[in-house]
Structure 1
Amino acid sequence: MHWLPTNLTLRWLNLEPDEIRPAALCFAISFTWGFAQMLSWTAASTLFLQHYNAAQLPFISIASAVLIPLSGLVYIKLRGKLRFSHQFMVFAALFVLMPVLFRFLLAGDALRWPSLAFYVWYYMELAFAALLMDSFVNRMFNLRQTKRVFGPIATGSDLAGIPAGFLIGVLVGYSGVENLLLMAAATSAVALLLFSHATRAYKVRVESGDVQMDDADGDGGTAISLRTLLKNPLVLAILAIQALSELNVEFINNAFYSQTEQYLSQPEAMAAFLGTFFAIASIVSATVQMLASSRLMRVFGIGGCLVLGPSLVALTLLAFVASSWVGAAPAFVFACMAGAKFVQYTVMVSVDDAARFTLVRSLPPIIQDRVLAISGTVLSPVVGGLSGLALLGMIHLLGAEAAGIAAVATGSLIVVIFIGRLAARAYSANLKHVLSERAISGVELPLNDPGTAQMLVNMLSDADPRTAMCGLDLLSRQPRAEFKPALAQALRHADAGVRARAAMAFQDQAAPADLATLQETLRLESDPNVIAALLPSVGRAAGNECAPLLRGYVENADERVAQGALVGLARHGGADGMDSAGRKLEQLQMAHDPARRAFVAETLGKIGASSLDGLIVPLLKDEDLEVRRKAIQAARYLHNPLLGAPVVENLTEPELRPTVVETLIEGSEVLLPPVDELYEHSQDMLELRAMILQIYGRVKTAEGIRLLERRLEETEPELQHEAIMALAHSSYRPGDAGRRIIEGLILRYAGYATWLLRCIMEIGPAGDQSLLQPTLWRELRKKQGVLFTLLGFLYPSDVMRFIRFAFLNSKSEDKVAAAIELLESMLARSGHAPLLPIFEGTLVERRVAELEKHYPGRAPDLAQRLRELLAGDCASGNRWVAAVTLDFLHSRAELASQIEVPENPRISIARAWIEPPAAGGVSCMSVLQRVAALKRTPIFADVPEEVLSDFAPEAVETVFAASAPIIRTGEMGHTLGVIVEGSVRIFRGRQTLAELGVGGVFGELAALSPEPRTANVTAIESTRVLELNAAAVERMIETRDEAAKGIIQVLCQRIQTTIREKTFEDTGTFRVQRAAASRKAPARMLQELEKVVWLKKVEIFGSLSDTILLHLARLATEQWLDAGDTLFEKGDLGTSMYVIVEGEIAVHDEDRLIATLHPGEIVGELALLTSEVRSSSISAKTPARLLKITQSVMQELMWDHHRLTRGIIQILVTRLRTMMTAHTIDDAAGVVDQGNGANQP
């Protein structure tokens, strides 16, 4: 478009290309309204003075001060009822209709009151137009953009006064003053049309603030009360600054006009001065507002800009006051006062307004609207009226002169400066709150108060096994003598699992006085697991008599009982018992049966004696992998440094690595030295060395941190990255030496990021059709993530973690902007220019230009950049980058001829990935092609290609002839298949369940949870299939959040599809019938421990530690339903899940009952996990109590706790399988998402 501004203009305006159109639209609306308001002001002033006189002007101020606040309250009330676009249209239509109405009222010469009423209406229009314009700009731009665009947009109404001023004289000469109202109405109609266009062109942005934000998760909720609003420190600061600024304007105006009247007594001289003064001031104000306000905010920060104007005005006012009191020359005194007014009119209006607007923009949308409405339509007119009354009192009662009035204004400005500093702090705190979904790091569970202790006792005797087990889990963390009677009572619980767990807990407190009771309990017990758990307690209570009591059980036919006896002997039988147990275990260790040797390893772990290392070392080297696995698990409880080397040697066995890792993490740092030796001697095993660094990070001990700090100097980029991330997980805070290393790494990675931005810029459109450009963007994201992590070592780590998560993971543009804004407020001023452009979303060319001042590079040369990519410069040296670079060159012979490709192992692998291997004359797919095929499936759509490239070589490529069977019913399934070419038929018996084409996926449930196949799959035509096994899928879930998220999304969608499309058995009907009388909320809220217990009963939370569960319990809110109350309707947007604590919940579709849920079950998790609409309605059958968990909290937990994510996947798989079995739907029949084109070629 030829009319778009040039790059030079963009730089001057400090705008980005994608901001031009919305900014131009906002400017046009502002300009149009400004033009209309100029016409209205001229008409209002002239008509008023025709019918009244200047002495009656105070009546206008009084009427406005009453009517505008009342109208503002109506606006706030309507805001809760109407969408913003509808509210804007209503008020904009009034701006059109009211001037027309007044024009006809003024047609009668006898009527005087319309001129008075129109003057009041003009002030109301002025206030509400500013309010609507500010709210509109809030929606059109994010926080970072607002800082840049507010100044240029706000000048629209000011600039409109210039042409309007010139045209008014001409228009009045042709049509008269009254017809200016019709022209104002016509101009306002243009603004209405512009906004109507904006609602269509930018619908999502305009409606972005219509979701109520006070409910934390976006579910909706009631409007925020004024009392709640005023509890927000930032809101209080904004309103205080607005009120004092209004007071300052009134006081400074009075002092200025008083001094002008005194110094320039001649009317002609006064008029000439004022005209020239305000003309120059308006030009300077518009220039500063359009070109300098955003740059000043960048230089001085939000806090600096809030105090800049008040400080300058206060200084000039002090000069005026001092010169007045010392009797300085009148010209100097007047110059000081004029200077104060000039600064107030230019800097305070231009810079402070932009800073205040930025403060408001950081608030949630619903709060933004209320603050703007209160400050613009309630606070300003009220404070303006009160300021006028105060001035009248000072002048007429106290005899105050200009100097005294200026002194009061100076004092209020000092207060504004102080509040401005507080506002800057509140602004940073508010940004932290906006991003504070993260940091569910766990808090200690207090068990010391009497109420909690009694609750634990009650839990141990609860008939529900889940409750009793929860109590025992909590008690195991803080065993205390007062719980011993309750434990003894739990030994007689009806559930064997509870009895066994209670016996294990009782062992640490067993005393000789308990022997008779324990022996009687043992005599009556029949469950082998409970007997095995009781025997160590009996041994401890028996003391010296332990060996005679337990020897008889050692030869028991049930190995569980024998194991319990051996543990009791070794632990509590003294030297004799240890010797007896050792000899028995030594005999079993020599057995040929691997099961016997595994029994020995498991028993040694339960004994936990470091002196038994001689027995376990041979087992750590056993030829049977299961024996070694048991021995590795046992080693973590022996705490013997001699076991470190044999345990670590098993890291080279891929199947044993997860067990070794867990042992090294839980086995204390005594096992770490051999790990470090293995790291040093594994130079060519990159994956193993990276795993070792991850182990150091998860150990979180001083020794682990010391070893990691040494690895920060690694030359291999991937290992250095792993060391940095591992230190972050260890809560690392560097000393002086470490700080210097971190600062150097920050500069290094900032240089890497700058280099990547140069590559992206120079490759430009040439890389759009290849994988190279998106790969470089992902590399940049990785460098940004490392920079956030490094900055977290120097700045508050929790805040930097909030910023990192919002920037890298949030899909909300506002949250990303808030993250960058908070980062700017956190960094030292010297770090702004070298770091902020790396994270900004501005034009790449502009970012590079700013960064090259700090990280100069070579002149632009695409061939040179590609050489550097292939050489692995600037930490870009992974195999995928090399592969996509070679692929990029493959179709560009002219570039390829200029580049000599280096030869090294990385390039060799990259070459292999882009060249399809030949296999028996059948063309095979290259790794790049396999990655593309996997990427087309909904499961892997969000997984980066670089990650898929690690698993694509493991996929088995098979070609099936037409009619050839691919899967048979009854076969054990452990793979998923992706159709690359051709199509397949999925059937059971003679019934066809589905036909899938290219991109279709079948058997994904088997890959997630291997089970026998329940349907047949046959090729319809010659079909090529990529098969990925369960082990590869599991590793992908463990290591990549994106893969886990994609799988969860797909499973939820399939369950929802099943609910929508299949006919279920009739489980009855359900009609929503509200109770005759509303049930009050329970008199007692759940205690934190009770919440923890209920959360522990939910299967998906079972793997979380008590500290994490307590943090989660504090974030979970209680919700009560009366019988018949509806929690949510089918089709509602889901952003919360609920744990049922009391009552029965009906899942229904209109009157059809789908299921009845009971305490301990969860509801709403599908929509929460997918962010899609609810697939059914949920209502209370009986009065119910629920725990509400928001989407942001669940996402935090899922991506930080792999076992929770895996548990959710397993539950979804089980649920889907149950539904499919019950309603004749096949496991293998599932297209992952037929509605999203999985069948399309």
Structure 2
Amino acid sequence: MTVIDYAFLSGVKQRFHSDVELARFLGFFFALGSAITIIIKLFLSGRLVKKFGVIRALLVLSMLLLIVSIAIIISNYVSVTGFTVFILFGILMMVSEVFNYALHNPVFLAMFQPLDLHRRLQGHTTIKGLTDPFSLGVAGIILYYLFPPGGAQQSDLVFISYLFLASVVVWILTLLFVRKHYFQTLKSAIYNRFLGTTQVQCNDSESVAILRDKLVSSYPEDVIYALELMRQSGVDNIHEVLQQQISSDSEVVRGYAVKLIKEQECRQLLPDLLNLIRTESSVPVRRKAIIAYCRLAEEAHDVIIDLLGSTDLNLRSAAICGLIETGGIEEIVLSGESLLALVGSEDELEKLAAINIISDLKIRKFYRPLLRFFDDDSLTVRKAVISAAGVLGSERLLPSVLKQREDSRLSQHVLEALPGFGSAVIPVVRGELQGQDESNCFNYASLINVVGKIDTHDAIVLLEEESESHWLCIRDAVLSALHSRKYHARDQEPWSRSIQYDLALAYNINGSLRFLVPGTDKLVIDALNFELNRALNRILTTLSFIYSREALERVSRGIQSEDKERRANAIETLDNVLPDTLCSKLLPLVEKHVAGVFDSMIDRYATVEYESRDDVFKQILVTGNRAFHAWTLTVCLYQTRGLMCKERETYTHSPHLMLRQAAQLSGDYKLDMKHHTDTKGQSDLLEIEKVIILKSSVLFTETPEEILVEVAQILKPIRFAEGEAIFEKGEYGDKMYIIYEGEVSIHDGDHVLSTLGRRDFFGELALLDPEPRSASATARSSCLLLELEQTPFYELMAERNEVSNGIMKVLARRIREDNIKIMELHSD
């Protein structure tokens, strides 16, 4: 380009001797070029790229320059004036300037965008830091040769055109040569960026050197992370690294190195594994080494066979598992006999070992030995066999697994195992969902969650069928299950009906809020606002089955944000994604702009007309759990206590304990939100009181009341007399306590660590991570505590993410507060 510029400008200088004429011509020339550039960029560039592709679009400029340079050379052999040659060079410069800025540069830069950051930076550095300066240097040398200072001119413009023609030909050939390599690079980059792994890659020598330095770290976590990165990056001779690490001082590192030896199939390390089996002091590491050796060796070693008689159950189990998977006939027979001996044993540990071996082998035909364990007296054994049955997935085991649901202690284990049976579960769930009973609504929702984890067509069909269930909890579970599977609707009609139903419900809720009294009806107002948010979430989730999932997920996050700009962006996205008819009904619910305008929208779209405050409560109770959650119905029953009406009477026989209790409340009952003195010393608290207590506890302050309804169902009120020990230091803990009344002393021997009163909680760490108690707890006065056990709480967290999310928020806040206190102490 520099040579073209010089050739043209030197011709201009010869044509125009006056500075004014020269400036006028150059101004007109470059203004015309800029105007043409803008027009081509707006109307032609995109179409050229779309029609011819990126590489051919890059060839446009070089081909045009080739044509013009050939025309200049031809003009030298026909009788043309110097003015004609000047015009051709002017065209050459105009073409180079216009197409360079309008097409070539944008397309060239766009080629870097799909590449990963490292390659993109490397490409820009090469072009701007090496290629461009080199090209300018070459152009300078050529011009210096043609027009040496103080010397005679070596050539004319025609010679320059020959030189330029050669450059263009080289340019085109280079493009064609680079094309294949670029496509290979592009394919690799796109795969790694969009389809392949997002893991860190360390392929360069500097990164590998850093990782090798980390291998000698005294922190096992550093070593393990370095090994994992080396595995991901495909570092050469990784077997040499693993050979060193199986001699590490850290048991954790040795175990991880053995795991990688098996995964990477490093058969050259078989002698090292055998030596590890003989000499390793850690049983877990030896077990891993045994299994790795059996997987990699062509035939079993006598050392492995001898372990079938080991007194260590872990080593014997590893040998059985490894030999059954990879041994010859003799080894399989010997290990099979050892496995059957464990199956027939009366020792609980040996039974568990047999179950775990069958589970690890994952051979469906090995289901028969498991059948005997479903009737075992040990709860631990039955839990293990349920899990193993889910791993094997044999339909012969399904009836035995389903029967275990009769024991409430095993119900969650059954739910976790059922997805492993795949399509065989679908008819069972469909049968239970037919003739739905309100008392089993929560169990139905749990079954829907199971179906959501089964990746088959008939599972999708069942979820679609239940999307129009009468019960709200089931519809919620269906939406959650389908959303987690990134479902896209084939038939939009049922989902459109669902959206219209929730839109009408949202407007009805907004209409009801106009009749409620702030303060007096606070519980109901809060509950209805929760219902409104859930309705909006259901609408957005359902819309994501029909329209852009990514856009609607951004909208969902945006409208929940406190940031005004994010909310505005969310509203704008809705306006762009949804049809006008749907958007006109949804946007007012999200925006809630000028009150008068919104009131007119309620009057237009609401399907229920309320006449009074009492009418609001009656309509909610009539609708029931088809549209409202249990907490909303409970607080409505509480607000209408003492009111004799048929809507309340229906709930006096409800299968739901909280609703039944709330419907039976007398008119003079008053729920004290702060002190809860209504139980009059009784240990049997009402379910609604338990929810209020949980909500006022710091640990559950971020958890919605509707979810706390389910937590309340697993709380156990327990009384302790003054001076009675609640638990002792060193005891294994799997319960937490909330103080309803009285005081509790937390102490280590005679040293009192803290004294806790009503609404305080203790033992929460044991609930999340069972360990021996770090201190003792004793009742300082007569106490009424609410006990929360770990097992049912874990089961609830598995079903309700809101519980774990709320607790994590509270714990994170407490950690931040503790960090601030520590910083303040250091500053003092």
> TM-score w.r.t. structure 1 length?
0.45
**Could you tell me how far 1:445 is from its partner in structure 2?**
3.3
Distance 2:766 2:278 in 1: 46
**Could you tell me how far 1:457 is from its partner in structure 2?**
11
Distance 2:579 2:503 in 1: 16
Distance 1:609 1:554 in 2: 20
Contact 1:742 1:790 in 2 (8 A): yes
2:349 matches 1:598: no
Distance 1:863 1:501 in 2: 66
**Could you tell me how far 1:905 is from its partner in structure 2?**
2.5
Classify the secondary structure of the residue corresponding to 2:685.
coil
Which residue among 532, 543, 546 is the counterpart of 2:287? Answer: 532
**Could you tell me how far 1:449 is from its partner in structure 2?**
8.0
**Could you tell me how far 1:584 is from its partner in structure 2?**
2.0
Q: Which residue of 1 aligns with 2:534?
A: 782
- Quick one: which amino acid aligns to residue 792 of structure 1? S
Listed as ranges, the matches of 1:287-306 within 5 Å are none
Distance 1:937 1:483 in 2: 53
Contact 2:308 2:316 in 1 (8 A): yes
- Quick one: which amino acid aligns to residue 468 of structure 2? E
Q: Which residue of 2 aligns with 1:773?
A: 525
Distance 1:626 1:648 in 2: 17
Q: Which residue of 2 aligns with 1:554?
A: 308
**Could you tell me how far 1:1037 is from its partner in structure 2?**
5.1
Classify the secondary structure of the residue corresponding to 2:640.
helix
Q: Which residue of 1 aligns with 2:550?
A: 798
Q: What are the Cα deviations for residues 601-639 of structure 1, in whole angstroms up to 9, with x where unaligned?
A: 111222222332222343355442322333344345545
Contact 1:985 1:1019 in 2 (8 A): yes
2:506 matches 1:758: no
- Quick one: which amino acid aligns to residue 533 of structure 2? R
Question: CA separation of 1:1060/1:869 partners in 2, compared to 1, >3 Å: closer, same or farther?
Answer: closer
Q: Which residue of 1 aligns with 2:379?
A: 625
1 or 2 for the larger relative contact order (CA 8 Å, sep ≥6)?
1
Question: CA separation of 1:448/1:980 partners in 2, compared to 1, >3 Å: closer, same or farther?
Answer: closer
Contact 1:682 1:688 in 2 (8 A): no
Question: CA separation of 1:569/1:457 partners in 2, compared to 1, >3 Å: closer, same or farther?
Answer: farther
**Could you tell me how far 1:756 is from its partner in structure 2?**
1.8
Question: CA separation of 1:697/1:628 partners in 2, compared to 1, >3 Å: closer, same or farther?
Answer: same
Distance 2:554 2:586 in 1: 18
Which residue among 590, 600, 603 is the counterpart of 1:839? Answer: 590
Listed as ranges, the matches of 1:1001-1150 within 5 Å are 1001-1010=761-770, 1011-1012=772-773, 1014-1020=775-781, 1023-1031=783-791, 1033-1034=793-794, 1038=798, 1043-1044=803-804, 1047-1048=807-808, 1050-1051=810-811, 1149-1150=826-827
Distance 2:241 2:745 in 1: 61
**Could you tell me how far 1:889 is from its partner in structure 2?**
0.8
2:326 matches 1:572: yes
Q: Which residue of 1 aligns with 2:626?
A: 875
Q: Which residue of 1 aligns with 2:650?
A: 902
Question: CA separation of 1:530/1:867 partners in 2, compared to 1, >3 Å: closer, same or farther?
Answer: same
- Quick one: which amino acid aligns to residue 225 of structure 2? C
Distance 2:278 2:740 in 1: 65
Which residue among 662, 671, 676 is the counterpart of 2:429? Answer: 676
Q: Which residue of 2 aligns with 1:747?
A: 500
- Quick one: which amino acid aligns to residue 936 of structure 1? S
Q: Which residue of 1 aligns with 2:155?
A: none
Contact 2:239 2:266 in 1 (8 A): no
Classify the secondary structure of the residue corresponding to 2:488.
coil
Distance 1:837 1:561 in 2: 66
- Quick one: which amino acid aligns to residue 532 of structure 2? L
Question: CA separation of 1:1038/1:766 partners in 2, compared to 1, >3 Å: closer, same or farther?
Answer: same
Which stretch of the first structure deviates more once superposed, 845-854 or 609-618?
845-854
Distance 1:584 1:965 in 2: 47
Q: Gaps spanning 5+ residues in structure 1: where? A: 1-239, 241-439, 1063-1129, 1132-1147, 1153-1241
Using the aligned pairs only, state the percent identity: 21
Contact 2:503 2:586 in 1 (8 A): yes
Question: CA separation of 1:883/1:441 partners in 2, compared to 1, >3 Å: closer, same or farther?
Answer: farther
Q: Which residue of 2 aligns with 1:947?
A: 707
Distance 2:745 2:222 in 1: 48
Distance 1:505 1:975 in 2: 38
Distance 2:434 2:208 in 1: 54
Distance 1:576 1:478 in 2: 40
Classify the secondary structure of the residue corresponding to 1:732.
coil
Contact 1:460 1:490 in 2 (8 A): no
Contact 1:761 1:845 in 2 (8 A): no
Which stretch of the first structure deviates more once superposed, 925-934 or 636-645?
636-645
- Quick one: which amino acid aligns to residue 781 of structure 1? N
Q: CA RMSD in A?
A: 4.2
Q: What are the Cα deviations for residues 306-329 of structure 1, in whole angstroms up to 9, with x where unaligned?
A: xxxxxxxxxxxxxxxxxxxxxxxx
Question: CA separation of 1:1016/1:980 partners in 2, compared to 1, >3 Å: closer, same or farther?
Answer: closer
Listed as ranges, the matches of 1:902-941 within 5 Å are 902-903=650-651, 904-906=653-655, 909-913=658-662, 922=682, 924-941=684-701
Distance 2:210 2:373 in 1: 42
Q: Which residue of 1 aligns with 2:637?
A: 886
Q: What are the Cα deviations for residues 1001-1033 of structure 1, in whole angstroms up to 9, with x where unaligned?
A: 34444444453262444435x554434344455
Alignment length (residue pairs): 620
Distance 1:576 1:1039 in 2: 47
Contact 1:511 1:540 in 2 (8 A): no
- Quick one: which amino acid aligns to residue 633 of structure 2? A
Contact 1:966 1:1019 in 2 (8 A): no
Q: Which residue of 1 aligns with 2:340?
A: 586
Distance 2:682 2:625 in 1: 40
Question: CA separation of 1:818/1:692 partners in 2, compared to 1, >3 Å: closer, same or farther?
Answer: same
Distance 1:1045 1:902 in 2: 35
Listed as ranges, the matches of 1:712-731 within 5 Å are 712-731=467-486
Q: Which residue of 2 aligns with 1:849?
A: 600
Distance 1:702 1:1061 in 2: 55
Q: Which residue of 2 aligns with 1:79?
A: none
Classify the secondary structure of the residue corresponding to 1:933.
helix
Contact 1:490 1:499 in 2 (8 A): yes
Question: CA separation of 1:645/1:1004 partners in 2, compared to 1, >3 Å: closer, same or farther?
Answer: same
Contact 1:514 1:541 in 2 (8 A): no
Which stretch of the first structure deviates more once superposed, 753-762 or 552-561?
753-762
**Could you tell me how far 1:887 is from its partner in structure 2?**
0.8
Classify the secondary structure of the residue corresponding to 2:300.
helix
Classify the secondary structure of the residue corresponding to 1:902.
helix
Contact 2:555 2:570 in 1 (8 A): yes
**Could you tell me how far 1:711 is from its partner in structure 2?**
2.2
2:578 matches 1:827: yes
Question: CA separation of 1:803/1:499 partners in 2, compared to 1, >3 Å: closer, same or farther?
Answer: same
Classify the secondary structure of the residue corresponding to 1:795.
coil
**Could you tell me how far 1:778 is from its partner in structure 2?**
0.9
Classify the secondary structure of the residue corresponding to 1:868.
helix
Q: What are the Cα deviations for residues 713-756 of structure 1, in whole angstroms up to 9, with x where unaligned?
A: 32222111110111000011112x2x222212111211221222
> TM-score w.r.t. structure 2 length?
0.65
Listed as ranges, the matches of 1:1153-1172 within 5 Å are none
